[in-house]
Amino acid sequence: MSNTIKPLIAGNWKMNGLRASLDQIRDVVQAISGSKTPDCDVLICPPVTLLAEAGVLSANSRLATGGQNCHVAQKGAHTGDISATMLADCGATFVIVGHSERRSDHGETDGLVRAKARAALDAGLTPIICVGENQAERMDALAITVVEHQLDGSLPELNKGEEIVIAYEPVWAIGTGEVAASSDIVRMHSSIRDWLLKKRGLRGETTRILYGGSMKPGNAGEILALPDVNGGLIGGASLKADDFVAIINAA
């Protein structure tokens, strides 16, 4: 069943991109407008400063836009924060929550990630909930235990019709050029699928599980063809339209 899930190719620009980078959004929109584009969903999560304009550029196209984080509240006295409602108001349909850089830079806990995912759903966004082990945990053969623990703590209860996406991102593979071995990706994605089926029943069959960690045009085809890999979350290689479109074409 999981091999029939439409893949999602998602770009995470992180804290990169000035107004001139909107040209990359224009190029992606243009490149995926043809009938030859693979049958996958495409998303770019630019910094919030570019989100509104990215929303205008991608309106009525196949490109969706998303945020990289949101607050747990929809509005209020939280100087410098951005709510899920605000992201939706800029045209976003997704938001990344619990990225390892937020977990490490801002001490985000599983409980906070779960509350952010709930806030995203309440605002009509699909949260992309990130999980993944660090290097020491992998060396200690704890990767699957750690990820199951993160899933237990970070996933909100779902109401009818609500959707989430899981992104498995081994921390040691993010931005390092190192990629998890195919056998390890297969083992982890299959374990996440089992967890979803156990906890969520039939709904777990259709939840997308993305791989993230140094995905590039040269390795995307192999990774995206693995069982239970339903797309990718791509950092560095999403910044240039040519690279990102090459990954889309590999899907």
Residue 5 CB: number of other CB atoms within 10 A? 16
Min dist. Cβ of residue 235 to ligand PEP (A): 2
Q: How far is the CB of 232 from ligand PEP (least distance, A)?
A: 8
Nearest-CB residue for ligand PEP: 235
- In the numeric block, the tokens 């969903």 are attached to 41
Comparing CB distances to ligand PEP, the nearer of 85 and 96 is 96
Applying CB under 6 A, does 143 fall inside the site for ligand PEP?
A: no
Q: Which token pair is 170?
A: 């081994």
The answer to whether 15 touches 101, Cβ cutoff 8 Å, is no
Q: Are 24 and 240 in contact (CB under 8 A)?
A: yes
Rounded-to-integer distance, Cα 146 and Cα 1, Å: 26
**Region of 1-9, 113-121, 200-208, 230-238 interacting with ligand PEP (CB under 6 A):** 230-238
How far apart (Å, rounded) are the C-alpha atoms in residues 126 and 120?
Answer: 7
- Please report whether residue 174 would count as binding ligand PEP according to CB under 6 A: yes
Under the criterion CB under 6 A, does residue 46 sit at the interface with ligand PEP? Answer: no
Q: CA 118: distance to chain centroid?
A: 16
Q: Choose between 131 and 151: whose C-beta lies nearer to ligand PEP.
A: 131
Choice among 99, 101, 108, 137 that is catalytic: 99
The footprint of ligand PEP (CB under 6 A) covers 12, 14, 169, 174-175, 212-215, 233-237
